[in-house]
Amino acid sequence: MSLSWIPNAISLLRIILVAPILMLILRNDFAIALGLFVVAGFSDGVDGYLARRFQWHTRLGALLDPVADKLLVNGLFITLAYMQLAPVWLAAIVIARDVIILGGAAAYNILVEPLRGEPTTVSKLNTLFELLFLLFVLSRAAFGWPDKIAITVLGAAILITVVISGIDYVWTWSKRAGARL
């Protein structure tokens, strides 16, 4: 029996965890929300490792993994902004970038050819900053740590990497589409 379904099951688990995490935040139960967020983050690493290590790549997995990531990150940004724990402007730019990338990916997939996701280095750095920001905001809400300055610095890093990675995606995929059409 093949175990290649395991990374997809882990991605599905991450999707399922989004709703309880958001509900816990809305109920001001930040410690448990933080714990589930850590589980979700850890599971993201595990499913990626398993897919790479054992060549358990599937088309479904290529879709589920980024969907799980975006649901978690965007859901948390919206909820934390609503709870006034994160700046609304920061949530807006994070979500706007993802909407632009998703729209561009859909257009490329429909008009040019099937798209294979290829996150850039700056995009990976942006994701790291976003996850650290969310971790720090939840940790501060739950335990009063870290200081606000660490969260502010991460917010600035997110702003910079969102702009750079957004421009990079639009530029790179526009050039690819132009070369293929």
Residue at 143 is within a domain: yes
Rounded Cα gap, residues 62 and 66, in angstroms: 7
- Tell me which residue range forms the domain holding 57: 6-180
Cα first-last separation, the chain: 43
Residue at 173 is within a domain: yes
pTM: 0.93
pLDDT confidence of residue 96: 97
Rounded Cα gap, residues 93 and 87, in angstroms: 10
| Nearest CA-CA partner of 138 in 61, 60, 51, 33 | 33
Residue at 106 is within a domain: yes
Q: Which three-class secondary structure state does DSSP give residue 29?
A: coil
Domain count, the chain: 1
Rounded Cα gap, residues 59 and 26, in angstroms: 34
How does pLDDT run across 8-60, given as a tens digit for each residue?
999 999 999 999 999 999 999 999 999 999 999 999 999 989 999 999 988 88
Taking residues 113-127, report their average pLDDT. 86
| Nearest CA-CA partner of 11 in 60, 55, 54, 84 | 60
Residue at 86 is within a domain: yes
Residue at 26 is within a domain: yes
CATH code of the domain in which 118 resides = 1.20.120.1760
Residue at 1 is within a domain: no
Taking residues 115-119, report their average pLDDT. 76
Rounded Cα gap, residues 158 and 4, in angstroms: 34
Where is pLDDT greater, at 135 or 108? 135
